[in-house]
Structure 1
Amino acid sequence: MLAAIPLLILPFAIYNLAMLGLFGGTAGLDAGVMSLSMLSGATWAMSFGDLLIVVALLLLFVEILKATRTGTRALMDHLLSMVLFIAFLVEFLLVAPAATQIFFILMTISFIDVIAGFSVSMRSAGRDVSIGL
């Protein structure tokens, strides 16, 4: 059952912890994590919020790989991903500190997880058809 839990709940939980003030509020998401001097002379900087989005994209990749499974575990995973997206959407619409670009991108990643998961599972289900003679 633990494998059915959507991995994208991690960025959701981290953002909510930031809203509660654990990382200095949502302003803490703008804190710099790293910066690199580029050959062009420019400085490329990554904030904690940017890192959270990158982690969410990596977890999305794993979620899409998980969507290729079949069976009741995959169905439960899709349903929980849908519940997580609904939680993202409700929080985005009703909680003022969640109305940020970072949260919106995380919500969009969650939506892509739902759509990709259902479309991959539907394609897989179509290939499982066998004709018995």
Structure 2
Amino acid sequence: MGLFPFTLIPLVLYTFAAVFLYDHSNYVVEPGQVALHPFWSKAVISFTLVSGQSWSLSYGDLLVTVAIVLLLLGMLRSASTNRGTVLGNIVMVLVLCVYIILFLTVPFAGTSVFFLLTIVALVDTLSTVSISMVASHSTMDAVPD
């Protein structure tokens, strides 16, 4: 489980939705419009708050929320120092590279939802590498000469 980057889960979910749930023939973004596929703006749940304000959670909001929760789990896991830490960090950087390449080159990934997922993957990669470096350094300090 140490080599598995949690940020891969939102990437797979987003790609699955893009390939199998999008109606690509009707999706055209005019110049100056925000590139957000209608699927990601559909409401999963909607209700009225006590204040009287209507609130809804879209599929895009839900996916970003899941990514943030997975980011927390990845940060909690990153404090361990085992043999797979370096390889796990390499896999995490590769997942980040896939996010960036897809965002820049694939039309269905050019949305604000995917951009936020890319930022979550970036924060996950940077924090995990930083935390594992500090954890390994403190482990080395604990070893007597």
Relative to the length of structure 2, the TM-score reads 0.84
Moved over 3 A (4+): 23-26
Shift of 1:22: 2.6
User: Would the aligned equivalents of 1:23 and 1:29 in 2 still touch at CA under 8 Å?
Assistant: no
Aligned equivalents of 2:65, 2:73: Cα separation in 1: 13
Q: What runs of 5+ residues in structure 1 fail to find an aligned partner?
A: none
Query: 1:27-59: CA deviations, max 9, x gaps?
Result: 212111001211111111000110000000000
Q: Supply the RMSD in Å over aligned alpha carbons.
A: 1.5
After TM superposition, the structure 1 stretch with the greater mean CA deviation from structure 2, 73-82 or 40-49, is 73-82
Residue of structure 1 equivalent to 2:29: none
Whichever residue aligns with residue 144 of structure 2, its letter is I
- SS of 1:80's equivalent in the other structure is helix
Whichever residue aligns with residue 11 of structure 1, its letter is P
Residue of structure 2 equivalent to 1:41: 52
Relative to the length of structure 1, the TM-score reads 0.91
Aligned equivalents of 2:22, 2:68: Cα separation in 1: 21
Residue of structure 2 equivalent to 1:131: 144
Q: What runs of 5+ residues in structure 2 fail to find an aligned partner?
A: 25-36
Aligned equivalents of 1:11, 1:54: Cα separation in 2: 10
Q: Percentage identity across aligned positions?
A: 25
Whichever residue aligns with residue 136 of structure 2, its letter is A
Aligned equivalents of 1:29, 1:15: Cα separation in 2: 10
> Across the two proteins, how many residue pairs are aligned to each other?
131
Q: Equivalent residues in 2 for 1:54-93 (5 A)?
A: 54-93=65-104
Query: 1:88-112: CA deviations, max 9, x gaps?
Result: 0000000111111000000000000
Shift of 1:24: 5.3
- SS of 1:4's equivalent in the other structure is coil
